[in-house]
Each structure stands twice: as structure tokens, then as C-alpha cells.
Copies of this chain bind each other. A is one copy, B any other.
Amino acid sequence: MSDRRTRRRALQCTVLAFACVLGSGQAADKPAQKAAAHSKSTSDILAASKPTDWRPLDPENTLYLELPSGRVVIELAPAFAPLHADNIRTLVREKYFDGLAILRSQDNYVVQWGDPYEDEKTARPLGSAKKTLAPEFTAAINAKIPFTRLPDSDGYAPQVGFSQGFPVGRNPKTGQTWLTHCYGALGVARGNEADSGNGSGLYVIIGNAPRHLDRNIAVVGRVVQGIEKLSVMPRGTGQLGFYEKPEQRTPISTIRLAADVPDAERSKLEVLRTDSATFAAVAEARRNRHDDWYIAPAGHVDVCNVLIPVRPIADAATSGDGKAAAGK
């Protein structure tokens, strides 16, 4: 009975949007006050969306990172880092990552994977992939990169917003735009040399958005499903969260491009279009909540605090790891 009550409370909180934090006692007992002043929850907004508000993932730009715990689905952003996206596709198709491992898990920061051996004698060959690439830390603003501005101020960028499902920063004066280091961002590890990142070492942000990294390193995509498989990885005990012993590293079974995976095994997901009115409503729901729980709507939303919704494509065959993360 108590678990049922807890679940009822959880459902009620879902109606209030997933920002609800449960407390003791009374929420389930009082009727909703001020119902007329309630803003819609994210769930309500998404339930009212049109099919054309959603965009299926492009199999040529979707990676499946297959771990013992399951699949992490990553979308690449070739408009922002075409050379790196291309090199990563080459590495993936030549099975470079198969049998490599997660090297690092640093709390409130990153999970990183790649080749633990950097000595040329023992490092894994890159095959046809390039060893150095022109840096793609930002991209030139151009017509091929759509931009939906988020009107809220931002300390790290003159403008912020979204582009085809990715959170971005933008500087009209310098004519540059870039993917922001939000939770789930996929970036290319590099050394000191600006061209030393090539995609053979990759990291994902699993903590508070380290926006100071923006424009210093190539961000090439973001995790759209399964990030919890990375964020729960035991933290490495070495410096910077590197694992001290090889046996501590979670192995990577393989990384594959969705395009190379039989259709029945693909994760059939769609992402809310970030240029849609529905998405603008999602951002507003984060910016100003009016409901039984909120007392002081923020009046502001950070670009990394607007979660870009992903859901399974309805009626798609979902064999494989096709469960969607609601609201993420």
C-alpha cells in the first residue's frame, strides 16, 4: 500500500514536471489550487506535439557504443565538425574501438575512452583514419547551420540557442558558432597541439556543464540515449579519474554506425525539432513553471538546462535497446 502511495505520488509529481522533488505528507491530499494559472508540464506539451515536430535520427550520423551494460546512442553533428565526424566514421567502420575500453571516469566531469597505449610501438594503428586534423573548435556561421536563438543571457557566449537538436553558442562579431559542453556532449580528446585530436579518444560530459572548455576542443555530438550507462561508471582512482589498473576499465564491445546495423537491431528514436514551437514551449516550461509546487519561477533558463526530448518512434519495431528516456 505504501509503495502504491509512493507511486501515486510519483505520478502526481510527473504531472507537475520531472522537477518535482517528493516530500512527506500532504501533496496527494489537497486538491490542485490555482488550476487556471498552471502552465503546462513538459509531459503535456510533448503529448500535444505534432508528428512533424520530431526528427528521426540519421543512421549515418548515429553511433552505437555497445558496452556490457547495453547501448549508448550518440548523435554526431557533422555540420559543426565535418572532418572529425568523418574521421570517427572511418575509425568506427574499421573497428578501431572494438576491444578498447573506458579509460577514465572523473566525478562531476567526464567519462573518456580510447587507446590506453600512446607509444607508437604499442598504440593501435589508426588504419585509414587521419592522425591529425585541422581543429574544429568552432564553425563559421553559415546558412548550412540553422540557429534557433534562446533569448536568455549567457555568461560564456554572446548568444546561445539550438541547431538541429544540439545546444550551441554563437558569436556574431567573430562569425563563429560551436556546440556547448552540456551534460551528454561528446568531445574529441586532444593534447596541447590544436590539431592533435583525431577522434580516436573521445569523452562525454557527465557533470555540471564545463562551459570553459567551449571553443578549446572539438565537440562533435551528444548522447541521446543511455548516458546513465556512462555516468554510473565507477570513478577512477588515478589522477583525473583515470583507472589505475587495466582490469578496472569497462571494455567496449564495439562502436557501430546505425547505418551499418540491421534495421531490426537499430534504436528507433526521434528527437524533438529544436526549431519547433513545441520546443520553444519546452524551454518556457523550464524557464517559468506555474503549478502547485513552484513558488518562485526562475524567469531564466540556461542553454544546458533545456533538456532536448528524445522518444521511441511509435510503432517502430524496437528489438534491440530501443527504450526512450522520457524528456531527455
Contacts and interface: CB of A to CB of B under 8 A. Distances in A.
A193 B27 contact: yes
A19 B210 contact: yes
A295 B110 CA distance: 20
A212 B289 contact: yes
A175 to B, nearest CB: 15
Interface centre among A18, A107, A213 (most CB of B within 10 A): A107
Interface string A1-44: 11101110111011000111111111100100000000000000
Contact of A231 (B108, B239, B298): B108
A228 interface: yes
Dominant secondary structure at the A interface: loop
Nearest to A178: B296
A305 B232 contact: no
Nearest to A286: B212
Contacts of A106: 18
A298 B158 CA distance: 12
Copies per complex? 2
A298 B214 contact: yes
Nearest to A126: B24
A6 B116 contact: yes
A295 B194 contact: yes
A116 B190 CA distance: 46
Contacts of A313: none
B13 A240 contact: yes
A302 interface: yes
Contacts of A112: 21-22
Interface string A183-227: 110011111111011101101000111111111110000000001
Interface of A: 1-3, 5-7, 9-11, 13-14, 18-27, 30, 104, 106-110, 112, 114-119, 122-123, 131, 137, 152-156, 182-184, 187-194, 196-198, 200-201, 203, 207-217, 227-228, 231-235, 238-240, 242, 246, 286-287, 289, 292-298, 300-302, 304-305, 307, 328
Give 5 nearest A-B pairs by CB, closest first.
A23-B190, A27-B191, A2-B117, A155-B300, A23-B191
